[in-house]
Amino acid sequence: MARKLTVAAAQVGAINRDTSKREVVQRLIDLLQQASHKNVKLVVFPEATLTTFFPRHLFDTQEELDTFFEHGADITQSTDVKPLFDEARSLAIDIVLGYGERTPEGTGYNTSVHYSASRDKIISKYRKVHLPGTVEPFKDPQAINQLEKRYFTPGNLGFPAYRAPGLVSDAVKSVSAKEGESTVGKGDPILGMMICNDRRWPEAWRVYALQGAELVMFGYNTGANMAHLWGSQDKPMSPEQAEQEALFHSKLVQQANSYMNACFSISVARCGLDDGKYDLIAGSAIVSPEGHVLAEAKTKGDELVVGEIDLSDCRQGKERTFDFARHRRIETYGLIPQQTGVVEPDLL
Ligand code: CDT
């Protein structure tokens, strides 16, 4: 049974430190309008879409830092961002949006939400689990900081897969399911969100796959030349080589994990040269459950990457090579939830 859906990665190019949220939101609305002309039903925006990637900066005041976050319990009502949700509703397009979330209690999270146009509300929220970087800035003034561990708390919502209504036709619902007949692979799409660095961690993908995820979506801000974090200062690379390497790893983890978890994935970059000096990779892509790139960005700026996917293509992997119920051997995986760091065998 085909379960077809047209999706898009809405890649967003350079955003400077002083670019206003209102200006960014207008660019996102332009991308949404392009999506509407291509019959797209689901658009994924990047990590921390609304501002420059602020964790690279150390701020003098909490007040200034707070301007980069969204405050309040419901982002759909946030003054600067509401026009985006209004546009999504009127175009009948679901959106996934990353942003800095400041909770009413004052905790900062790197967050992503799925807004369902048919329900006119947020149907799922994800908070980034794997925060990269450091708490303190690097001593080297030339280094580009990544202060996510300073500004955000690790996500406390786990990796919650969810079903999104209104995206595929003829989805079997709990009320319409026939008694005794399997509903596996016939319901509304099963989705999961991650954010940037999470994509490099197979545990995150596997937890979604264990919930039957058919499409994993994530935005990213990945430095094109982050020698202090990647460690490439030990093996000097030209800026061009460093960018190619960062792009290679980004595609590698997306293609490999899509294949190993038999799911589609959409990756979407915040990219380009922020403030004329902070370079972020592009490379937004839609990848199939067999690990093939179906569509990818051609530029390093605002660009809509569109693909038609058929969620029934996940069945091949989920029912054969990666039929977890038949082939996983959980009696041998005990270390995974027991141990964080590496413990090597005793020396000989
Ligand atoms: N934004 C984000 O998570 N960026 C990270 C940088 C990692 S630096 C080791 C990424 O995984 O792309």
Read off the pLDDT of residues 298-348 as tens digits, 9 standing for 90 and up.
999 999 999 999 999 999 999 999 999 999 999 999 999 999 999 999 999
319 torsion bin: left (phi>0), alpha (psi -120 to 50), beta (else): alpha
The predicted model gives 12-23 an average pLDDT of 98
User: Is the pLDDT score of 173 beyond 60?
Assistant: yes
User: Is the pLDDT score of 57 beyond 60?
Assistant: yes
Ligand 1: centre distance to CA 197 (Å): 5
Ligand 1: centre distance to CA 206 (Å): 20
Ligand 1: centre distance to CA 63 (Å): 25
pLDDT at 17: 98
Q: CA of 184: how far to CAs of 1, 177, 206, 253, 314, in Å?
A: 11, 11, 18, 27, 11
∠ CA 41-47-48, nearest 5°, is: 115
What is the average pLDDT score of the chain? Answer: 96
- Rounded Cα distance between 46 and 110, Å, is 12
Q: Which of 21, 41, 128, 186 is catalytic?
A: 128
pLDDT at 243: 96
Decide: 144 and 278 in contact? Cβ < 8 Å: yes
Ligand 1: centre distance to CA 125 (Å): 20
pLDDT at 71: 96
Tell me if residue 196 is catalytic: yes
Secondary structure class of 100 (helix, strand, coil): strand
- CA-closest residue to ligand 1 atom 11: 197
CA end-to-end span of the chain? 57
User: Is the pLDDT score of 236 beyond 90?
Assistant: no
pLDDT at 234: 64
Using pLDDT thresholds of 50, 70 and 90, give the confidence band for residue 211.
Answer: very high
pLDDT digits (tens, 9 = 90+) for 238-290: 999 999 999 999 999 999 999 999 999 999 999 999 999 999 999 999 999 99
Percentage of residues of the chain with pLDDT beyond 70: 99
- In the block, tokens 């660095």 appear at 197
Using pLDDT thresholds of 50, 70 and 90, give the confidence band for residue 230.
Answer: confident
Using pLDDT thresholds of 50, 70 and 90, give the confidence band for residue 33.
Answer: very high
- Rounded Cα distance between 43 and 115, Å, is 10
**Residue 265 in contact with ligand 1 by CB distance below 6 A:** no
Q: Which atom of ligand 1 is nearest to the CA of 200?
A: 11
Provide the H-helix boundaries in the chain: 21-37, 62-66, 82-91, 148-151, 202-209, 227-230, 239-260, 314-319, 324-327, 335-338
pLDDT at 233: 57
pLDDT at 137: 96
Tell me if residue 128 is catalytic: yes
pLDDT digits (tens, 9 = 90+) for 135-160: 999 999 999 999 999 999 999 999 99
Using pLDDT thresholds of 50, 70 and 90, give the confidence band for residue 226.
Answer: confident
Ligand 1 pocket: which of 52, 138, 146 to mutate (most atoms <8 Å of CB)? 146
